[in-house]
Chains A and B, each alone.
Chain A
Amino acid sequence: MKNFFKSIFIIFLVTSLFSQKAFTDETKKLLSTDWSFKGFFGKFDRASLQRGYQVYTEVCASCHSIKYLSYRNLSEKGGPEFSEEQAKAIAANFEVTDGPNDDGEMFTRPAKLSDKFVKPYKNVKEAMASNGGAYPPDMSVLVKARSGGVDYIYSILLGYDDPPGDISLEDGVYYNAHMYGNKIAMPKPLSEGLVEYNDGTEATEEQMAKDVVTFLAWAAEPHLEARHKIGFKAIIYLIILSFLVYFSMKRLWSRIEPKV
Protein backbone atom coordinates (compact mmCIF):
# COMPACT_ATOMS: atom_id res chain seq x y z
CA MET A 1 0.00 0.00 0.00
CA LYS A 2 2.75 2.38 1.03
CA ASN A 3 4.61 1.38 -2.12
CA PHE A 4 1.54 2.18 -4.17
CA PHE A 5 1.32 5.72 -2.84
CA LYS A 6 5.08 6.10 -3.18
CA SER A 7 4.77 5.20 -6.83
CA ILE A 8 1.94 7.63 -7.46
CA PHE A 9 4.12 10.33 -5.88
CA ILE A 10 7.05 9.33 -8.09
CA ILE A 11 4.83 9.49 -11.14
CA PHE A 12 3.78 13.01 -10.14
CA LEU A 13 7.42 13.97 -9.73
CA VAL A 14 8.50 12.44 -13.00
CA THR A 15 5.72 14.12 -14.96
CA SER A 16 6.55 17.52 -13.55
CA LEU A 17 10.21 16.96 -14.34
CA PHE A 18 9.50 15.91 -17.89
CA SER A 19 7.17 18.84 -18.39
CA GLN A 20 10.31 20.94 -18.64
CA LYS A 21 10.70 19.39 -22.08
CA ALA A 22 11.42 22.62 -23.94
CA PHE A 23 15.14 23.04 -23.89
CA THR A 24 16.53 26.39 -22.79
CA ASP A 25 18.11 28.87 -25.15
CA GLU A 26 19.75 32.25 -24.78
CA THR A 27 16.58 34.22 -23.88
CA LYS A 28 16.13 35.74 -20.47
CA LYS A 29 14.03 34.36 -17.65
CA LEU A 30 10.40 35.33 -18.12
CA LEU A 31 8.67 38.16 -16.30
CA SER A 32 5.64 37.34 -14.25
CA THR A 33 2.95 38.98 -12.15
CA ASP A 34 0.26 37.84 -9.75
CA TRP A 35 -2.23 36.27 -12.11
CA SER A 36 -5.58 36.02 -10.34
CA PHE A 37 -6.60 32.93 -12.28
CA LYS A 38 -3.66 30.70 -11.33
CA GLY A 39 -3.85 28.08 -8.61
CA PHE A 40 -6.57 25.71 -7.51
CA PHE A 41 -9.00 28.46 -6.63
CA GLY A 42 -7.98 30.90 -9.34
CA LYS A 43 -10.65 33.17 -10.81
CA PHE A 44 -10.61 35.89 -13.45
CA ASP A 45 -10.68 39.49 -12.24
CA ARG A 46 -13.76 40.84 -14.05
CA ALA A 47 -12.57 44.43 -14.08
CA SER A 48 -9.23 43.35 -15.49
CA LEU A 49 -10.98 41.35 -18.20
CA GLN A 50 -13.05 44.37 -19.20
CA ARG A 51 -9.99 46.58 -19.30
CA GLY A 52 -8.14 43.88 -21.20
CA TYR A 53 -10.94 43.78 -23.75
CA GLN A 54 -10.55 47.53 -24.15
CA VAL A 55 -6.80 47.17 -24.74
CA TYR A 56 -7.37 44.38 -27.24
CA THR A 57 -9.92 46.41 -29.18
CA GLU A 58 -8.00 49.68 -29.18
CA VAL A 59 -4.44 48.41 -29.58
CA CYS A 60 -4.28 44.85 -30.91
CA ALA A 61 -7.43 44.28 -32.96
CA SER A 62 -6.17 46.33 -35.90
CA CYS A 63 -3.75 43.51 -36.72
CA HIS A 64 -4.64 40.48 -34.58
CA SER A 65 -7.84 38.54 -35.10
CA ILE A 66 -9.45 36.57 -32.25
CA LYS A 67 -11.73 34.60 -34.50
CA TYR A 68 -13.00 31.86 -32.16
CA LEU A 69 -14.57 34.39 -29.77
CA SER A 70 -18.21 35.40 -30.28
CA TYR A 71 -19.61 38.73 -29.06
CA ARG A 72 -22.04 36.85 -26.81
CA ASN A 73 -19.03 35.45 -24.91
CA LEU A 74 -18.52 38.96 -23.51
CA SER A 75 -21.71 38.65 -21.47
CA GLU A 76 -21.49 34.96 -20.57
CA LYS A 77 -20.62 33.70 -17.13
CA GLY A 78 -16.96 33.24 -16.33
CA GLY A 79 -15.74 36.07 -18.57
CA PRO A 80 -15.72 39.89 -18.53
CA GLU A 81 -19.44 39.60 -17.79
CA PHE A 82 -20.54 42.74 -19.57
CA SER A 83 -24.32 43.00 -19.40
CA GLU A 84 -26.20 41.67 -22.40
CA GLU A 85 -27.06 45.22 -23.46
CA GLN A 86 -23.43 46.27 -23.22
CA ALA A 87 -22.33 43.26 -25.24
CA LYS A 88 -25.02 43.98 -27.86
CA ALA A 89 -23.81 47.59 -28.06
CA ILE A 90 -20.19 46.44 -28.43
CA ALA A 91 -21.16 44.06 -31.20
CA ALA A 92 -23.14 46.72 -33.03
CA ASN A 93 -19.91 48.74 -33.42
CA PHE A 94 -18.63 46.21 -35.92
CA GLU A 95 -19.76 45.41 -39.44
CA VAL A 96 -20.10 41.83 -40.63
CA THR A 97 -20.72 40.45 -44.08
CA ASP A 98 -23.96 38.52 -44.45
CA GLY A 99 -26.03 37.14 -47.29
CA PRO A 100 -26.74 36.37 -49.99
CA ASN A 101 -29.93 38.46 -49.88
CA ASP A 102 -32.89 37.81 -52.14
CA ASP A 103 -31.04 39.52 -55.00
CA GLY A 104 -28.13 37.12 -54.52
CA GLU A 105 -25.87 39.87 -53.19
CA MET A 106 -23.66 39.81 -50.08
CA PHE A 107 -24.27 42.78 -47.78
CA THR A 108 -22.90 44.19 -44.55
CA ARG A 109 -24.81 44.70 -41.33
CA PRO A 110 -23.95 45.49 -37.70
CA ALA A 111 -22.76 42.48 -35.74
CA LYS A 112 -25.09 40.63 -33.39
CA LEU A 113 -24.29 38.70 -30.22
CA SER A 114 -24.26 35.45 -32.16
CA ASP A 115 -21.55 36.66 -34.58
CA LYS A 116 -17.89 35.82 -34.18
CA PHE A 117 -15.42 38.63 -33.56
CA VAL A 118 -14.71 40.53 -36.74
CA LYS A 119 -11.25 39.97 -38.23
CA PRO A 120 -8.98 42.87 -39.26
CA TYR A 121 -7.96 41.09 -42.45
CA LYS A 122 -9.95 38.86 -44.80
CA ASN A 123 -7.38 36.06 -44.70
CA VAL A 124 -3.84 35.13 -43.67
CA LYS A 125 -2.31 36.31 -46.94
CA GLU A 126 -3.78 39.78 -46.62
CA ALA A 127 -2.58 39.91 -43.01
CA MET A 128 0.95 39.01 -44.06
CA ALA A 129 0.99 41.43 -46.98
CA SER A 130 -0.10 44.28 -44.70
CA ASN A 131 2.56 43.48 -42.11
CA GLY A 132 5.78 43.15 -44.04
CA GLY A 133 5.37 39.43 -44.63
CA ALA A 134 4.86 38.56 -40.97
CA TYR A 135 1.54 37.13 -39.87
CA PRO A 136 0.08 38.64 -36.68
CA PRO A 137 -1.17 35.42 -35.11
CA ASP A 138 -4.79 34.94 -34.19
CA MET A 139 -5.11 35.33 -30.45
CA SER A 140 -8.00 32.98 -29.62
CA VAL A 141 -5.69 30.32 -28.13
CA LEU A 142 -2.37 32.18 -28.28
CA VAL A 143 -1.82 31.81 -24.54
CA LYS A 144 -1.95 28.01 -24.90
CA ALA A 145 0.09 28.07 -28.12
CA ARG A 146 3.24 29.45 -26.56
CA SER A 147 5.60 27.77 -24.15
CA GLY A 148 5.50 29.92 -21.02
CA GLY A 149 1.88 30.88 -21.65
CA VAL A 150 0.71 34.10 -19.98
CA ASP A 151 4.18 34.87 -18.59
CA TYR A 152 5.65 34.61 -22.07
CA ILE A 153 3.18 36.99 -23.70
CA TYR A 154 3.46 39.38 -20.75
CA SER A 155 7.25 39.31 -21.10
CA ILE A 156 7.13 39.96 -24.84
CA LEU A 157 4.91 42.99 -24.33
CA LEU A 158 7.29 44.42 -21.76
CA GLY A 159 10.49 43.05 -23.28
CA TYR A 160 11.27 45.69 -25.87
CA ASP A 161 14.70 47.19 -25.40
CA ASP A 162 17.57 48.76 -27.26
CA PRO A 163 19.49 45.97 -28.96
CA PRO A 164 22.90 45.11 -27.47
CA GLY A 165 25.82 46.30 -29.61
CA ASP A 166 26.50 43.09 -31.49
CA ILE A 167 22.99 42.67 -32.95
CA SER A 168 21.96 44.45 -36.12
CA LEU A 169 18.30 44.68 -37.01
CA GLU A 170 16.80 44.56 -40.47
CA ASP A 171 14.03 46.91 -41.51
CA GLY A 172 10.75 46.21 -39.75
CA VAL A 173 12.39 44.01 -37.13
CA TYR A 174 12.75 44.98 -33.49
CA TYR A 175 14.76 43.72 -30.55
CA ASN A 176 12.89 41.89 -27.81
CA ALA A 177 14.60 40.33 -24.80
CA HIS A 178 12.14 37.44 -24.55
CA MET A 179 11.31 36.61 -28.14
CA TYR A 180 12.81 33.37 -29.41
CA GLY A 181 15.86 34.58 -31.35
CA ASN A 182 15.46 38.06 -29.83
CA LYS A 183 13.98 39.52 -33.03
CA ILE A 184 10.31 40.32 -33.46
CA ALA A 185 8.42 41.81 -36.39
CA MET A 186 5.87 43.57 -34.20
CA PRO A 187 6.75 47.12 -33.15
CA LYS A 188 6.33 47.87 -29.47
CA PRO A 189 2.53 47.92 -29.07
CA LEU A 190 2.17 49.44 -25.59
CA SER A 191 3.19 52.81 -24.25
CA GLU A 192 2.31 54.74 -21.11
CA GLY A 193 -1.24 56.14 -21.25
CA LEU A 194 -1.97 54.69 -24.69
CA VAL A 195 -5.45 53.64 -23.61
CA GLU A 196 -7.80 55.72 -21.48
CA TYR A 197 -9.39 53.10 -19.29
CA ASN A 198 -13.17 53.38 -18.92
CA ASP A 199 -12.89 52.62 -15.22
CA GLY A 200 -10.25 55.27 -14.65
CA THR A 201 -7.38 52.92 -13.80
CA GLU A 202 -3.97 54.35 -14.61
CA ALA A 203 -2.81 52.88 -17.90
CA THR A 204 0.83 52.05 -17.23
CA GLU A 205 2.54 49.62 -19.58
CA GLU A 206 2.53 46.91 -16.89
CA GLN A 207 -1.15 47.48 -16.19
CA MET A 208 -2.15 47.26 -19.84
CA ALA A 209 0.03 44.21 -20.37
CA LYS A 210 -1.47 42.48 -17.35
CA ASP A 211 -5.03 43.33 -18.36
CA VAL A 212 -4.72 42.34 -21.99
CA VAL A 213 -2.96 39.07 -21.11
CA THR A 214 -5.68 38.30 -18.55
CA PHE A 215 -8.20 38.92 -21.31
CA LEU A 216 -6.29 36.58 -23.63
CA ALA A 217 -6.07 33.94 -20.93
CA TRP A 218 -9.85 34.02 -20.65
CA ALA A 219 -10.23 34.02 -24.44
CA ALA A 220 -8.18 30.81 -24.58
CA GLU A 221 -9.90 29.19 -21.60
CA PRO A 222 -13.39 30.66 -21.17
CA HIS A 223 -14.46 27.77 -18.93
CA LEU A 224 -11.50 28.00 -16.57
CA GLU A 225 -13.57 28.98 -13.54
CA ALA A 226 -16.12 26.20 -14.09
CA ARG A 227 -13.25 23.77 -14.62
CA HIS A 228 -11.62 24.73 -11.32
CA LYS A 229 -14.91 24.61 -9.47
CA ILE A 230 -16.00 21.22 -10.78
CA GLY A 231 -12.46 19.89 -10.37
CA PHE A 232 -12.38 20.78 -6.70
CA LYS A 233 -15.70 19.05 -6.11
CA ALA A 234 -14.63 16.01 -8.14
CA ILE A 235 -11.39 15.53 -6.26
CA ILE A 236 -12.96 15.96 -2.82
CA TYR A 237 -15.65 13.51 -3.85
CA LEU A 238 -13.08 10.96 -5.05
CA ILE A 239 -11.11 11.28 -1.85
CA ILE A 240 -14.20 10.71 0.28
CA LEU A 241 -15.31 7.77 -1.83
CA SER A 242 -11.79 6.31 -1.73
CA PHE A 243 -11.88 6.32 2.05
CA LEU A 244 -15.29 4.66 2.11
CA VAL A 245 -14.29 2.02 -0.40
CA TYR A 246 -10.97 1.44 1.37
CA PHE A 247 -12.67 0.71 4.67
CA SER A 248 -15.29 -1.42 2.97
CA MET A 249 -12.50 -3.39 1.37
CA LYS A 250 -10.71 -3.91 4.67
CA ARG A 251 -13.96 -4.99 6.29
CA LEU A 252 -14.67 -7.43 3.49
CA TRP A 253 -11.20 -8.98 3.43
CA SER A 254 -11.13 -9.37 7.21
CA ARG A 255 -13.73 -12.13 6.78
CA ILE A 256 -11.22 -14.45 5.18
CA GLU A 257 -8.11 -15.73 6.82
CA PRO A 258 -5.28 -13.16 7.08
CA LYS A 259 -3.05 -13.45 4.03
CA VAL A 260 0.70 -13.92 4.22
Chain B
Amino acid sequence: MSDQKKLKRRDFLFTASYAIGAVGVGAVVWPLVDQMNPDKSVKASASIEVDVSSIELGKSITVLWRGKPVFIKRRTQQEISEARAVKLEDLKHPEKDEDRAKDPEWLIMVGVCTHLGCVPLGNKGEYNGWFCPCHGSHYDTSGRVRKGPAPKNLEIPKYEFINNNTIKIG
Protein backbone atom coordinates (compact mmCIF):
# COMPACT_ATOMS: atom_id res chain seq x y z
CA MET B 1 0.00 0.00 0.00
CA SER B 2 2.79 2.46 0.89
CA ASP B 3 4.51 1.53 -2.40
CA GLN B 4 1.37 2.56 -4.27
CA LYS B 5 1.35 5.85 -2.37
CA LYS B 6 5.03 6.39 -3.15
CA LEU B 7 4.34 5.77 -6.84
CA LYS B 8 1.45 8.25 -6.81
CA ARG B 9 3.54 10.95 -5.10
CA ARG B 10 6.44 10.42 -7.45
CA ASP B 11 4.18 10.62 -10.50
CA PHE B 12 2.57 13.76 -9.17
CA LEU B 13 5.94 15.38 -8.69
CA PHE B 14 7.02 14.60 -12.23
CA THR B 15 3.67 15.56 -13.70
CA ALA B 16 3.64 18.82 -11.81
CA SER B 17 7.17 19.61 -12.99
CA TYR B 18 6.27 18.90 -16.60
CA ALA B 19 3.09 20.97 -16.40
CA ILE B 20 4.72 23.97 -14.79
CA GLY B 21 7.66 23.63 -17.11
CA ALA B 22 5.32 23.72 -20.10
CA VAL B 23 3.77 26.97 -18.83
CA GLY B 24 7.24 28.46 -18.69
CA VAL B 25 8.09 27.34 -22.19
CA GLY B 26 4.88 28.95 -23.46
CA ALA B 27 5.63 32.17 -21.61
CA VAL B 28 9.09 32.27 -23.19
CA VAL B 29 7.89 31.45 -26.70
CA TRP B 30 5.22 34.17 -26.79
CA PRO B 31 7.55 37.24 -26.88
CA LEU B 32 9.68 35.52 -29.51
CA VAL B 33 6.61 35.18 -31.70
CA ASP B 34 4.94 38.49 -30.81
CA GLN B 35 8.01 40.51 -31.73
CA MET B 36 7.18 39.87 -35.37
CA ASN B 37 3.71 41.42 -34.98
CA PRO B 38 3.34 45.05 -36.07
CA ASP B 39 5.35 47.14 -33.64
CA LYS B 40 4.15 50.29 -31.90
CA SER B 41 5.48 52.72 -34.47
CA VAL B 42 3.69 50.82 -37.25
CA LYS B 43 0.48 50.66 -35.25
CA ALA B 44 0.74 54.41 -34.62
CA SER B 45 0.48 55.04 -38.36
CA ALA B 46 -2.53 52.70 -38.49
CA SER B 47 -4.99 55.52 -39.13
CA ILE B 48 -4.69 58.63 -41.27
CA GLU B 49 -6.75 61.76 -41.64
CA VAL B 50 -7.38 63.06 -45.15
CA ASP B 51 -8.62 66.49 -46.17
CA VAL B 52 -11.10 65.90 -48.99
CA SER B 53 -12.30 69.49 -49.45
CA SER B 54 -10.35 70.00 -52.67
CA ILE B 55 -11.72 66.94 -54.49
CA GLU B 56 -14.05 68.03 -57.30
CA LEU B 57 -17.18 66.15 -58.29
CA GLY B 58 -16.35 63.14 -60.43
CA LYS B 59 -12.68 63.18 -59.40
CA SER B 60 -10.72 60.95 -57.06
CA ILE B 61 -7.48 60.96 -55.12
CA THR B 62 -5.29 58.09 -53.94
CA VAL B 63 -3.71 58.11 -50.48
CA LEU B 64 -1.32 55.68 -48.79
CA TRP B 65 -2.82 53.90 -45.79
CA ARG B 66 -1.08 51.04 -43.99
CA GLY B 67 1.23 50.70 -46.93
CA LYS B 68 -1.58 50.32 -49.46
CA PRO B 69 -3.31 52.74 -51.87
CA VAL B 70 -6.81 53.92 -50.93
CA PHE B 71 -9.09 55.45 -53.59
CA ILE B 72 -11.26 58.34 -52.41
CA LYS B 73 -13.79 59.10 -55.14
CA ARG B 74 -16.37 61.88 -55.15
CA ARG B 75 -19.08 60.35 -57.30
CA THR B 76 -21.44 62.12 -59.69
CA GLN B 77 -25.18 61.52 -59.46
CA GLN B 78 -25.03 59.42 -62.63
CA GLU B 79 -22.38 57.13 -61.14
CA ILE B 80 -24.45 56.74 -57.99
CA SER B 81 -27.64 55.90 -59.91
CA GLU B 82 -25.77 53.43 -62.08
CA ALA B 83 -24.43 51.70 -58.97
CA ARG B 84 -27.82 51.56 -57.28
CA ALA B 85 -29.57 50.17 -60.39
CA VAL B 86 -27.54 46.97 -60.49
CA LYS B 87 -29.46 43.82 -59.52
CA LEU B 88 -27.83 41.78 -56.73
CA GLU B 89 -28.27 38.50 -58.70
CA ASP B 90 -25.93 39.87 -61.37
CA LEU B 91 -23.08 40.27 -58.92
CA LYS B 92 -20.35 37.69 -58.27
CA HIS B 93 -19.97 39.18 -54.79
CA PRO B 94 -23.43 40.60 -53.98
CA GLU B 95 -23.23 43.85 -52.01
CA LYS B 96 -25.64 46.80 -52.04
CA ASP B 97 -24.14 50.13 -53.00
CA GLU B 98 -25.87 51.69 -49.97
CA ASP B 99 -23.87 49.35 -47.74
CA ARG B 100 -20.60 50.22 -49.40
CA ALA B 101 -20.99 54.01 -49.48
CA LYS B 102 -22.94 55.33 -46.51
CA ASP B 103 -22.74 58.83 -47.91
CA PRO B 104 -23.36 57.99 -51.59
CA GLU B 105 -21.26 60.93 -52.82
CA TRP B 106 -18.08 59.41 -51.32
CA LEU B 107 -16.69 56.04 -52.34
CA ILE B 108 -13.65 55.01 -50.28
CA MET B 109 -11.99 51.72 -51.18
CA VAL B 110 -8.67 49.94 -50.76
CA GLY B 111 -7.16 50.10 -54.23
CA VAL B 112 -5.89 46.52 -54.25
CA CYS B 113 -7.37 44.03 -56.70
CA THR B 114 -8.89 41.12 -54.80
CA HIS B 115 -7.45 38.68 -57.32
CA LEU B 116 -3.69 38.89 -56.81
CA GLY B 117 -3.04 42.37 -55.45
CA CYS B 118 -2.33 44.73 -58.35
CA VAL B 119 -3.58 48.34 -58.27
CA PRO B 120 -6.59 48.78 -60.61
CA LEU B 121 -6.71 51.77 -62.91
CA GLY B 122 -9.50 54.34 -62.48
CA ASN B 123 -11.94 55.49 -65.15
CA LYS B 124 -11.35 52.36 -67.13
CA GLY B 125 -13.10 49.12 -67.88
CA GLU B 126 -16.45 48.15 -69.27
CA TYR B 127 -18.42 49.17 -66.19
CA ASN B 128 -17.26 52.78 -65.86
CA GLY B 129 -15.31 52.03 -62.74
CA TRP B 130 -11.88 50.45 -62.45
CA PHE B 131 -9.95 47.99 -64.54
CA CYS B 132 -7.10 45.80 -63.34
CA PRO B 133 -4.52 45.38 -66.11
CA CYS B 134 -2.80 42.37 -64.55
CA HIS B 135 -5.45 39.76 -65.31
CA GLY B 136 -8.41 41.75 -66.63
CA SER B 137 -10.81 42.23 -63.71
CA HIS B 138 -13.48 44.93 -64.17
CA TYR B 139 -15.02 46.87 -61.26
CA ASP B 140 -18.17 49.06 -61.47
CA THR B 141 -18.94 52.51 -60.07
CA SER B 142 -19.36 50.97 -56.65
CA GLY B 143 -16.08 49.07 -56.86
CA ARG B 144 -17.83 45.75 -57.27
CA VAL B 145 -16.28 43.06 -59.47
CA ARG B 146 -18.33 42.47 -62.62
CA LYS B 147 -15.99 40.58 -64.89
CA GLY B 148 -12.69 38.80 -64.64
CA PRO B 149 -10.95 36.53 -62.13
CA ALA B 150 -11.24 38.72 -59.00
CA PRO B 151 -13.38 36.88 -56.42
CA LYS B 152 -14.52 39.84 -54.29
CA ASN B 153 -15.41 43.52 -54.50
CA LEU B 154 -12.79 46.11 -53.64
CA GLU B 155 -12.47 46.30 -49.86
CA ILE B 156 -14.11 49.14 -47.95
CA PRO B 157 -11.86 50.15 -45.02
CA LYS B 158 -13.17 51.44 -41.73
CA TYR B 159 -13.57 55.20 -42.05
CA GLU B 160 -15.57 58.12 -40.71
CA PHE B 161 -16.06 61.77 -41.41
CA ILE B 162 -14.67 63.56 -38.39
CA ASN B 163 -15.82 66.86 -39.85
CA ASN B 164 -17.20 68.10 -43.18
CA ASN B 165 -13.81 68.16 -44.84
CA THR B 166 -11.88 65.36 -43.18
CA ILE B 167 -12.10 61.60 -43.33
CA LYS B 168 -10.29 59.44 -40.80
CA ILE B 169 -9.38 56.07 -42.32
CA GLY B 170 -8.57 53.15 -40.02
- Within B1-48, which residues are at the interface with A (CB < 8 Å)? 10, 13-14, 16-17, 20-21, 23-24, 27, 40-41, 44-45
Instruction: Report B-chain residues with C-beta under 8 Å of the C-beta of A247.
Output: 13
Classify the secondary structure of B's interface with A: helix
- Please, what's the 1-or-0 string for A77-117, where 1 marks a CB less than 8 Å from any CB in chain B? 00000000000000000000000000000000000011000
Tally of contacts, chain A with chain B, CB under 8 A: 33
Most buried by B among A72, A113, A114, A245: A114
- The docked-state distance in angstroms from the alpha carbon of A76 to that of B44 is 11
| Distance between A100 CB and nearest chain B CB, rounded to angstroms | 14
- Please, what's the 1-or-0 string for A54-85, where 1 marks a CB less than 8 Å from any CB in chain B? 00000000000000001010001000000000
Partner of B21, one of A72, A234, A241, A251: A241
Partner of B44, one of A113, A237, A244: A113
Question: A240 in the interface, Cβ–Cβ < 8 Å?
Answer: yes
Is the CB–CB distance between B24 and A241 below 8 Å? yes
| Count class of interface residues, chain B | 10 to 19
Instruction: Report A-chain residues with C-beta under 8 Å of the C-beta of B27.
Output: 234, 237
| Distance between B7 CB and nearest chain A CB, rounded to angstroms | 11
Is the CB–CB distance between B24 and A237 below 8 Å? yes
| A114 and B41 in contact, given A240-B20, A241-B21, A244-B16 (Cβ under 8 angstroms) | yes
Is the CB–CB distance between B44 and A70 below 8 Å? yes
Instruction: Report B-chain residues with C-beta under 8 Å of the C-beta of A114.
Output: 41, 44-45
Partner of A241, one of B13, B20, B41: B20
- The docked-state distance in angstroms from the alpha carbon of A245 to that of B24 is 13
| Distance between A103 CB and nearest chain B CB, rounded to angstroms | 13
Classify the secondary structure of A's interface with B: helix
Instruction: Report A-chain residues with C-beta under 8 Å of the C-beta of B23.
Output: 237
| Distance between B51 CB and nearest chain A CB, rounded to angstroms | 11
- The docked-state distance in angstroms from the alpha carbon of A251 to that of B15 is 13
Partner of B20, one of A70, A76, A234, A244: A244
Question: A147 in the interface, Cβ–Cβ < 8 Å?
Answer: no
Instruction: Report B-chain residues with C-beta under 8 Å of the C-beta of A238.
Output: 24
Is the CB–CB distance between A245 and B17 below 8 Å? yes
Question: A248 in the interface, Cβ–Cβ < 8 Å?
Answer: yes
Partner of B13, one of A72, A76, A237, A244: A244
- Please, what's the 1-or-0 string for A228-252, where 1 marks a CB less than 8 Å from any CB in chain B? 0000001001101100110110010
| Distance between B49 CB and nearest chain A CB, rounded to angstroms | 8
Q: Could you pull out 12 A-B pairs where Cβ atoms are within 8 angstroms? A: A70-B41, A70-B44, A72-B40, A114-B44, A234-B27, A238-B24, A240-B20, A241-B17, A244-B13, A247-B13, A251-B10, A251-B14
Residues of B that sit less than 8 Å from A by CB: 10, 13-14, 16-17, 20-21, 23-24, 27, 40-41, 44-45
Nearest 4 pairs of A and B residues by beta carbon: A114-B44, A244-B17, A248-B17, A248-B13
